[in-house]
Structure 1
Amino acid sequence: MPNLFTRRHFFARSALIGCSAAASPLLTPVSFAAAPWDTRLVVIILRGAMDGIDVVRPYGAPEYATLRPGEAGGGPDLDGFFGLHPELSDLMPLWNAGELGFYHAVSTPYRDKRSHFDGQDILEAGTPGLDGARDGWLNRLLTKLPGVEARTAYAIGRGDMKLLAGSAPVADWSPDADLVLSPQALRLAERVMEDDPAFHAAFSEALMLSGDSALAPLPDEETMGMGAPVDSNKAHAVIAEYAAEQLRGDARIAAFSINGWDTHNRQSRAIVPALRRLSETLLLLRSGLGNSIWSNTAVIAMTEFGRTVAINGTGGTDHGTGGAMVLAGGAVQGGKVHGDWPGLAESDLYQRRDLMPTRDVRAPAAWIMHGLTGIDRAALEQVVFPGLDMGDDPRVTR
């Protein structure tokens, strides 16, 4: 009988547990809310800090080739200045149809500490800082809209989507998942990983060495007699298909996560599984909803912060500030990279290391909700996103 408890097996298991916030799509929920209006809103949290300038590449910036050697070329051109990561090439028909767009150089008000957990908490609370709201911005939106009621249970994993926490009724659903640790133990493991750079690096390296197999059940997990788990590599497809099914019916709002964006090492390889999950998710939503519903749907994909502009010594990027938002659906103004591009010269960067944010990520989200539901600006700035100045309309919806 082979010895399964090898160093590689240990680190692969550790990566499965400790890096779960950045790798496993089974640890965060998808929730739905039903309402009488006819548009649909899908919010996807990209956990782990997606590198916006790798996903939407500013080829036209003269500094880009030096800051990101090896990234130039290979992906489809978007507008003569920006290009798309090659792994998202399958989304070009959406771009060409005006059903895919991006908003560049955005971030939450969170600055400098660059903790995934604090960053995600602020992103989901929709507040200027960590203090204040105990509910989430998407739930607060529901409190301002008519006819909202929960349908059935829809939560992927055993955790909570904080952006849906609050007084408005929502429902959660979970696919069949065989998780070894409790949410509390997972959260503790994630905290330990984040606070120990060496441990974090070991996890990341093990995940890279193992590839997607690090996310699949290990042999002893397959024989625990606790029921067949959902394949981690296919969970995003289960989520997208189920979301589309519910949104074809009474559900109007869906929220879930796609993880795996924490690319400290060998980013050119590490980011690929997450990009594939994102691409497949959007395409499955598109096909599952059908033309008539998709034409009235807006998908917002947001991340807690961006990543450093320059590549680090291990071929990855570290936690940064400005990032990108992904927009999709027939209700969004696609075929365009929105936002005010700040430039990549050292003097243009935030703290001379990060992409400078030129707009609060909450503002485009607020304008999309305004366009979809007609909710007034005062409610968005004072209740949904307290302390937000939405600024001028960026025209991100049709």
Structure 2
Amino acid sequence: MSDSTLSRRAFLTRTAILGCSAAASPLLTPVSLASAPWDNRLVVIILRGAMDGLDVVQPYGDPALAGWRRTLSAGPQNGALDLDGFFALHPALAPLYPLWQANDLGFAHAVSTPYRDKRSHFDGQDLLEAGTANLGPAAGRDGWLNRLLQTQPGMSAETAYAIGHDNMLLLSGAAPVANWSPDVALKLSPQGARLAELVMHDDPLFRDAFAEAQMLSGSMQAMEQQAMMASEMMAGDMQGMAGMAAAPKGQAKGIELIAEFTAKRLRADTRIASFSIGGWDTHDGQERALSRALQQLSTAILTLKAELGPHWKKTAVLAMTEFGRTAKENGTKGTDHGTGGAMLMAGGAVRGGRVYGAWPGLSEADLYERRDLMPTGDVRAYAGWAMRGLFGLDRAVVKQAVFPGLDLGTDPKLLR
């Protein structure tokens, strides 16, 4: 990289002022990207805060469900969309129902990482993104998507955008990747903006990046005040989950911008992308809070589909969360941190129209520690089979390099 390019990068970094703190930003984490020599695409969405799989993919056919939840009513009789006579889809995901009917949407239920019992968002998310059995020193600090790239020769990074935060752990590691973040407000005077344009005039890469950042900055400034109000409501361990208690009105547009940018890169050289959506920690008022988060997820997926065009047929989207929530509704019409949860899969490459996994049951004796949905599948195995199908990875590579020590089990045949 030339000195002139580095100077432009330094210029951008120094003139970019964060419009929101990391805790307050409704666009909590950056989009991470990596190009690869495959035609298929993979998008991994991390759902930060622990999504309640029992409310998203409702097992209304299990007679024990109603006894655990007084106000979180489930099933088609309460507005959910029937999937298969046993599971129903949360009403807030109704816009995705046509994807289910087209076999472009599916779920894996009763899944989890190896994380158990402590139920810390931060440890749970780190383990999900690391893809290892534990977070000890021996496990390293790279992410499973980066380890996937490390197994392939000749990897090249996507265009590097200097404006933004560091990579998510999911794509952090030795393999080259690119990073871009929209949660930056470029508070430049007209003279400063003009100076930036002149500095980068002969460098299309940074000129285009700066123009895009300016556009996104306008959307961010409109959201800034509401996002800051949301952050003031959070405390203690919840600080890292900010944006989830009070979703700003402009947040839908924010996630749409992220999905549009992701699809734009996937239409070009990028083959792997990841970003995250907050808002899933529903300790109280779950009915409203979960609906807001699901609307964000729905917007992201539908935007990806629309913007990818014909490339949607070669795309798999995996939406994963750090752990599930308790089977029993708490006293504030919410649910607490649990264990087993659900994973969403979308895309034209996905064999959708079904809920994968072995259902463990919801009677008290069937629950994990008599409080949580019992995991019957490892969420990493579903991701492993998806990558094996998309990219032709050897089974041993998945088990030894990408997810060390993972028992892949039987092929669930997730892809078409």
Q: CA separation of 1:192/1:133 partners in 2, compared to 1, >3 Å: closer, same or farther?
A: farther
**Match status 1:78 vs 2:83:** yes
Deviations 1:154-204 (A, max 9, x none): 5885243001110100001122524999xxxxxxx9996128xxx99xx99
Letter in structure 2 aligned against 1:54: D
Q: Is the 8 A contact 2:327 2:335 kept in 1?
A: yes
Count of residue pairs the alignment pairs up = 349
Quote the residue 1:58 is aligned against: 59
2:178 pairs with 147, 168, 171, which one?
Answer: 171
Q: Does 1:282 align with 2:301?
A: yes
Q: 1:317 aligns with which of 328, 335, 348?
A: 335
Please say if residues 40 and 252 of structure 1, whose CA atoms lie closer than 8 Å, have aligned partners that are also in contact: yes
Summarize deviations over 1:244-285 as a string: whole Å, max 9, x none: 111011110010001110000110111111100000100000
Q: Does 1:353 align with 2:371?
A: yes
* SS of corresponding position for 1:395: coil
Contact 1:26 1:157 survives alignment (8 Å)? no
Counterpart selection for 1:235 from 249, 254, 277 = 254
Q: 1:259 aligns with which of 252, 257, 278?
A: 278
Q: Identity across aligned pairs (percent)? A: 61
| Matches of 1:112 and 1:320, distance apart in 2 | 8
Equivalent-residue separation in structure 2 for 1:360 and 1:154 (angstroms): 34
For normalisation by structure 1, the TM-score amounts to: 0.82
Which of the numbers 391, 395, 401 marks the counterpart of 1:373? 391
TM-score normalised by length of structure 2: 0.79
Q: Which runs of 5+ in 1 are unaligned?
A: 1-15, 182-188, 217-230
Pick closer, same or farther for the CA change 1:53–1:207 going to 2, 3 Å.
Answer: closer
Residue 155 of structure 2: which of 123, 133, 148 is its match? 148
**Residues of 2 paired with 1:302 and 1:311: CA distance?**
22
What residue is the counterpart of 2:100 in the other structure? 95
Instruction: For residue 50 of structure 1, give the secondary structure of its aligned residue in structure 2.
Output: coil
Task: Give the unaligned 5+ runs of structure 2.
Answer: 1-19, 186-219, 225-231
* C-alpha distance in 2 between matches for 1:37 and 1:87: 34
Separation (CA, whole Å) in 2 of partners of 1:351 and 1:82: 24
What per-residue deviation string (whole Å, max 9, x for no partner) do you get for residues 108-145 of structure 1?
00000000000001000000011112100000000112
The equivalent of 1:11 in structure 2 is none
What is the CA–CA distance in structure 1 between the aligned matches of 2:253 and 2:162, rounded to whole Å?
Answer: 16
Q: Does 1:128 align with 2:133?
A: yes
Give SS of 2:413's match: coil
Check the 8 A contact 2:112/2:378 in 1, yes or no. yes
With 171-180 and 371-380 compared, the bigger mean Cα shift is at 171-180
Amino acid at match of 1:83: A
- Other structure's SS at 2:126 match: helix
Does the residue aligned with 2:81 lie in a helix, a strand or coil?
Answer: coil
Q: Which amino acid aligns with 2:253?
A: K
1:273 corresponds to which residue?
A: 292
CA distance in 1 between counterparts of 2:276 and 2:259 reads 11
Counterpart contact for 2:27–2:183, Cα < 8 Å: no
1: CA distance between counterparts of 2:178 and 2:22?
Answer: 28
* Distance in 2 of aligned mates of 1:155 and 1:269: 37
CA root-mean-square deviation: 2.6
Distance 2:358 2:145 in 1: 26
Distance 2:161 2:181 in 1: 6
